Amino acid sequence: MTFVESEFQISKDVQIRFDWTLDEIQNILKKPLIELLWESQQVHRIFNPRYKVQLASLLSVKTGGCEEDCAYCSQSMHNASDVTDQSDFDVLGVLAQAKAAKAAGADRFCMGWAWREIRDGKPFESMLEMVRGVREIGMEACVTGGMLTDLQAKRLADAGLTAYNHNLDTSPEYYEKIISTRTYQDRLETLYRVRAAGITVCCGGIIGMGETIKDRASLLKVLATMEPHPESVPINALVPIEGTPLQNLEMVDPLDLVRMVATARILMPTSRIRLSAGREELGKEAQILCLLAGADSIFYGDSLLTTSNPSVKADRDLLAAAGVIVNWDE
Ligand code: SAM
Ligand code: DTB
Ligand code: SF4
């Protein structure tokens, strides 16, 4: 039987569902790992038969001084981390970084602003110019900048923004243990606005913040019952940062990350599952298990927002060792 035929046979059985229950998701998360991996691989292979991995580069345009009190974040003014309010990148500086990221092989450029919400005025006009510029050089453009209004979302869509990143981070039940300056509902409303403006949604979370398996399942339930599913789902492992309330937490078990990725893949077969923060703490074997489990994107470049990421060289070696397909292979 040829590969294409077998692919067709399996794909007949996979339905995209939006009615996942908490019990179902918990049962998937807790399956024997070997079985979970087999199930997620089957789904992954149908929807991404060439194991294509998207490389996304990240730049913090506006760093530090954020009014929100997210317990994991180095950029909150409520936390005593080393990150201080730095001067922002200008449009030309950002576009130079985007061009360099493209030359290194990335095809998505993600820009971050440490804001509670987007404010109108010069910084927002610059954000729009950055989005237009990134699109002009032929990359997908993603912005993360906190809450926004309908009009701001429309203007970002008109500028050509591909995706808006706005994570739910954890379960609705655990949220208030992590953030007190906004509600889960605030977060959901922003996501509805992004969707209504026709921008694709990038929404995921963090594991390793002291949450239970049920919390992880509950976060995945919120994501997997959105219709349509978020096009992009970043799965972060907490990077415990000195000066934040979560500084003393231990790095999550890498196999928990593999489970989270595999479950997200099963629940949301066509979404991009991004293996995000925390990769520096993982060996190459654990990262390859995540790719096998269904991750089809990584952040690529020597830094994330305020923390470091594996080097470009290390990632090129990793991708080659895994034998997956990336932009420059096509
Ligand atoms: N202010 C915007 C917001 O909160 O949406 C954008 C920036 S925020 C830093 C983007 C995401 O990075 C957070 O939602 C969180 O999921 C992730 N993140 C931040 N600090 C992290 C850490 N220490 N470890 C893992 N993920 C982290
Ligand atoms: C996401 O979920 N993870 C990225 C991106 N979206 C913006 C950010 C990770 C930040 C890790 C901590 C830091 O570098 O400050
Ligand atoms: Fe601000 Fe975003 Fe950091 Fe929260 S995660 S403190 S909103 S920059």
pLDDT band at residue 84 under the 50/70/90 scheme: low
Query: How far is it, in rounded angstroms, from Cα 258 to Cα 28?
Result: 12
Q: What's the pLDDT score for residue 2?
A: 37
Q: Is the pLDDT of residue 224 over 90?
A: yes
In a domain, 257, yes or no: yes
In a domain, 142, yes or no: yes
Q: Spell out the alpha helix ranges (H) of 105-212.
A: 122-136, 150-158, 175-178, 184-196
Among residues 108, 193, 202, 203, the one annotated as catalytic is 202
Q: What's the pLDDT score for residue 85?
A: 58
Q: What's the pLDDT score for residue 89?
A: 82
Q: Is the pLDDT of residue 109 over 90?
A: yes
Mean pLDDT on 3-28: 76
**How many domains in the chain?**
1
pLDDT band at residue 75 under the 50/70/90 scheme: very high
In a domain, 12, yes or no: no
Whether 208 is in the pocket of ligand 1, judged by its Cβ within 6 Å, is no
Across the chain, what does the average pLDDT equal?
94
Whether 205 is in the pocket of ligand 3, judged by its Cβ within 6 Å, is no
The one-character DSSP state at 313 is H
CA of 236 to the centre of ligand 1 (A): 9
Q: Is the pLDDT of residue 7 over 60?
A: no
Tokens of 19: 């009615």
Query: How far is it, in rounded angstroms, from Cα 206 to Cα 235?
Result: 6
pLDDT band at residue 4 under the 50/70/90 scheme: very low
Q: What's the pLDDT score for residue 212?
A: 98
Alpha-carbon distances, residue 98 vs 59, 118, 145, 227, 306 (angstroms): 9, 22, 18, 32, 18
In a domain, 83, yes or no: yes
In a domain, 13, yes or no: no
In a domain, 169, yes or no: yes
Q: What's the pLDDT score for residue 232?
A: 98
294 contacts 44 by C-beta, under 8 angstroms: yes
Domain that holds residue 71: 3-7+18-329
CA of 73 to the centre of ligand 1 (A): 6
What CATH code is carried by the domain that includes residue 317? 3.20.20.70
Q: Is the pLDDT of residue 187 over 70?
A: yes
